[in-house]
Amino acid sequence: MDNIIEIRDLSFSYKDPEGKLHPALHNINLDFERGTYTAILGHNGSGKSTLAKLINMVVTSDDGVIEGSIKVLGKEVTAGISDDDAYEIQCRVGMVHQNPDDQIVATTVEEDVAFGPENLGMDPKLIREKVTETLAAVGMEGHEKSAPHRLSGGQKQRIAIAGVLAMDPECIIFDESTAMLDPQGRDAVMKTIDELHSRGDVTIITITHYMNEATDADRVIVLNRGEVFMDGTPEEIFTQVDRLHSVSLDVPQVTELFYGLQKAGKYNGKLPLHTNEGAEELAKLLKAER
């Protein structure tokens, strides 16, 4: 197994201005294999964004107390990492944040996507190729000269993804990247994530509170009160409806519908996770009722 991230016995507490500690994570042990797609779920305050920011060193020991170990690309990042190694990891492990405006720095789309590669010292010709390639990858070709502030939220988020892709990352962390988008914008970003996953050469970790966004992942991790509560495939996680409800989490809407039918004695099959599966099962039920 080739792990890009290894986490052992990780605990973290934030430090407030008065020096008081506020626990956020406790005894986390996780591995993330190269090329896989993992969704991390949890209610507000469960620790999912803190975990993402520790992996990418957005949150460090300057922000609180870290115990345990996080290795990214084989390098320990929780303490004693050199500036050069930290810079390398942040280039190779990209992050797309909740608000795309936090990542857009230029006045045109092409300048914004080129910003990261320019800071890496890439050859100008290669940068131009990267801009063209990554904008096509996120479905934003033709917008090179557009002003980012005139784009929709979903388009801005795809520009932010292109800017990360242009740096050739080995891993991308999406930290609630669809939270501020309308349904159309969320669908566009999720389509981009699915297409990246289909390439097989980028490790994807997405932090989300939308259950439907996690159904296409290889793996789902549920955090609760800073601890790993569940860890498995989408089918293994989302068919445990009562257990998810016990920590105030929902399941995909189609799964909830068939769970209700199951409890009412109207359905005894496998709980579907996707709308098309649910439609097929519902058609069978209606046909049987006739």
> What is the structure's pLDDT at 103?
87
* CA-based end-to-end distance of the chain: 51
- From CA 24, how far away is CA 192, in angstroms rounded? 31
- Run means of pLDDT, 10 residues per run, the chain, 290 residues: 93 92 96 96 92 91 93 89 87 89 90 90 90 89 92 90 90 89 84 87 92 94 97 97 95 95 91 94 85
> What is the structure's pLDDT at 1?
67
> What is the structure's pLDDT at 110?
93
Outline which parts of the chain fall under CATH 3.40.50.300. Answer: 33-62+81-239
Which fold does the domain 33-62+81-239 belong to in CATH? Rossmann fold (3.40.50)
